[in-house]
Chains A and B, each alone.
Chain A
């Protein structure tokens, strides 16, 4: 079955370090998204991509970057981790007129 795999499931890092969260999908979807989930805020869009070499900023993109070199992967990089970036991160993918399919999330703690 097709799926989205996120790694790691849990990550603890220190303030100022660069961190990369991996996302790999086997749906062959063009569209991929990164969300963060925080209490009281629901899911907020960080970055998204509509295809290879395409990336776009979402509503909370400051301090994050993504790259799309192939269809399957959209890694999310925190350039210099901050405590405010402690959160649960979800990767998702979709195609036109299809639902979003989610990974199981990465819990990131920045100390």
Chain B
């Protein structure tokens, strides 16, 4: 079955520390990959996307993600976390054909001063 896994339900980091949020997918082909962020009471905002080409992609707010085909992973990273990064983060995939997005269950990020 096709699936997207975010193994960390909740992560707490100190402000200024580095961050890595994990995402693994299970599909027969390489999908398009996305990370979204959701602040409380808001919709989801696109952080970055991977379609093809360079496997390290840069996004907004200083985030980046690396696609690793061998590991079926698309982990999100940030070198230095800010208090405003506290939010819910969702990994999503869509197959090359069709346009149905599948989401992970999300990772909640808490940033402590």
Contact yes or no, B43 A104, CB < 8 A:
yes
Contact yes or no, B51 A42, CB < 8 A:
no
Counting contact residues on chain B (CB < 8 A from A), the size range is 20 to 34
Check: A45 CB closer than 8 A to any chain B CB: yes
Assuming A96-B99, A99-B49, is B43 touching A105 (CB within 8 A)? yes
Check: A103 CB closer than 8 A to any chain B CB: yes
Contact yes or no, B99 A31, CB < 8 A:
yes
Q: Which residue of A lies closest to B98 (CB)?
A: A50
Check: A34 CB closer than 8 A to any chain B CB: no
Mostly helix, strand, loop or mixed at chain A's interface? strand
Question: How many residue pairs at the A-B interface have CB separations less than 8 Å?
Answer: 49
Counting contact residues on chain A (CB < 8 A from B), the size range is 20 to 34
A sample of 28 inter-chain contacts (CB < 8 A) reads A4-B43, A31-B99, A33-B101, A35-B103, A40-B105, A42-B90, A42-B103, A42-B105, A42-B106, A43-B44, A43-B90, A43-B103, A45-B101, A90-B43, A90-B44, A94-B99, A95-B99, A97-B32, A99-B34, A99-B49, A100-B34, A100-B36, A100-B92, A101-B46, A102-B36, A102-B43, A103-B43, A105-B43
Chain B interface residues (CB < 8 Å from chain A): 32, 34, 36, 41-46, 49, 51, 90, 92, 99-101, 103-106
12 A-B pairs besides A92-B44, A94-B99, A103-B43 with CB distance below 8 A are A31-B99, A41-B105, A42-B90, A43-B103, A90-B44, A92-B101, A95-B99, A99-B34, A100-B34, A102-B45, A104-B42, A104-B43
Chain A interface residues (CB < 8 Å from chain B): 4, 31, 33, 35, 40-43, 45, 48, 50, 90, 92, 94-97, 99-105
